[in-house]
Structure 1
Amino acid sequence: MKKGRNELLASEEKNLAPYAVSSRNPGEREYEEPEHPYRLPFQRDRDRIIHSHAFKRLDYKTQVFVYSEGDHFRNRLTHTLEVAGISKTISKVLGLNEDLSETIALAHDLGHSPFGHAGQEALSELMRGKGGFEHNKQSLRVVQKLERRYPEFPGLNLCGETLLGIMKHGGDYEKSDLLDIRRGLGPSLEAMVVDSSDEITYSAHDLEDGLESGLLELSDVKQLKVWKRMEEALPKSIFSDKDSISRSLGRVILNLMVSDLIDSIDTNLKKFLIHTREDVALAFQNQKKIVQFSEGFQEEFRELKSFLFGNLYRHPEVSRMSERGKETIFLLFKHFESHPESIPESYRKREEEEGRMRVICDYIAGMTDRYAIEKLKREGILWFPY
């Protein structure tokens, strides 16, 4: 017997904790739409994100290594899928709304520029004093305005709770009703879980990719405080094979971080007397952090992030790739300023409303690494080969 909307809602609520976000209260869509007969609101949001152009382009956007460096390193799409998987796991254990967590995770990097954080730095510099650029704000801009899949409205017309989850606390967002709600209500626990899952994912997997690439040395990793935990969790048989060690380390530290976070959240829910979505909002307003590692693990995690920053993200080889990416964006931006006819008409028609600089920024931010390099060549801009 098939389940209708009411049966699906009832089935969902059997598994939801009282502090989770129910699909009965997903937050309003900006443009009114009839409910779907057999997909709940966050499932519809998830599907809209997966079918978007911005999501497809994540496949050729840099995580740490540009696509030309190898086929087995993470890119922005594989990272996003890993964040979604971890977010769903944590949400399931804690009785949160898995559909909402997965949806926020799938959307969280839609606004990321090509060439990873180097690309963001370049666009941020180019847009200084002109509205700025920050990838979280751009992700919100993508789903609210830039995607054009529906003739009835701009963007994807996502639920309010999905949009609130995409927004980052403290971001310089434009004044709006959504911003007022975000400041008052704060993020859901599902959104907080996604934020932490993002950090967990890139820390574990950047460590793994760094070791596999040879840019990180196992001897240096062994100096980290978290190494003892990892060593105890690793089977002794793998220590004779370098490749097995690097691949196992990512898996083991991922499990350690997720397990610690789940236990810590469970403790904090009891400690802060969290029973409803309103309790979550009150804790947020009073700066009580529910979603965080245990006190001891926080120090080890900070050390790991610092290690990756100093030894991988600032490695000369990564810096070389980053500088190439930044220079590519600088050259493209300057070219489009003086040759606006090279910008697609779908972007150009917004110039009168938003200005040429914002239009150029949107166009470049949406590019993949591969397309940006190809555009550079196609426009005849002299630059070094990749």
Structure 2
Amino acid sequence: MTDQAVTAPSLDTESLSRWMDAQGLPGAGERAQARALTGGSQNELFEITRGGEKMALRRPPSYGVEGRAKVLMREARLLKALAGTDVPHAALRGVTDDESVIGSPFYLMDLVDGWSPMGAGWIAPFDTDFDARGGLAIELVDGAAKMARVDWKARGLEGFGKPEGFLERQVDRWLSHLSTFKFRDLPGLDETAKWLSEHIPSTFEPGIMHGDYQFANVMYRHGKPAELAAIIDWEMATIGDPLLDLGWVLVAWSPEGDAMQHARYLDYTGMPSRAAMLEHYAKVSGRDVSAVDYYVVLARFKLAIVLEASVARHAKGEADDRVARFGPIALELMEFAASLSRTTSYR
């Protein structure tokens, strides 16, 4: 969620205001003010001001994407479940699947006062203060660790995902997905898939996982010391193996990731060591991180296929030129997934 205005899609603020009145939200009787925001890539986002408070409204895109409303309701369910936990998130204010209110399901949440490195990279003081920048990484992994220790059953998330056999399903699921659009070879694909299938950790403790956990999907509070303000964009969240979120964080981490030329989208100067990241995660989450290389390989394998889907759409003329840059990233991720599988001590 950023404060950059864009051309505003239509939003029936009169009907929204009546609904807010019925929910007992701030500013009873007032007409809500709405402003479209950028933030997230799958849904529309609005800043809603009423009763002297600012909230964010999230709804499916107006052009319609099959299943998007269902995903949105899942996000709202998860945010509701996180209330009262120490996981940084935007608090849920209200949710409805009644399309008669504004023409689509939606939910309201707190508007987070913070910044994202996906805007213009590191902002002051983190652009020049490398010690402070390192704190951003520790806060990132701290958020993943706090998610991992939430008692998801006690939070009403039974049925939110299918944790049984989660790891066993991953390779076949993503190879099946790739088969629907594959248009070129991904060197290292077969080798990585075979290694992942043969080295599945024997046990894991199910927990909440974000599914796309990285710098791009968190917001920080302004100024130092570094403090995570909120984890955002929960479209891929499920109950699975939280260690995959840790693997996602470490996809391009030093020292091995230093050789990557395309997959890094931020300057890693000043970042803490991999060992320090693992130590913090283990301490906060209480989880064993000895198999972390498996999860890094799996994260690279999965991300390469996710990005390759966009590359394939671009090759067919069905996506704009901005996704063309994913082409070399997908190739590099699969290459490095295979190379790590050959050299890791995890067996």
TM-score normalised by structure 2 residue count = 0.31
User: Relative contact order: is structure 1 or structure 2 higher (C-alpha 8 Å, sep ≥ 6)?
Assistant: 1
Work out which of the two has the higher radius of gyration on C-alpha atoms and give 1 or 2. 1
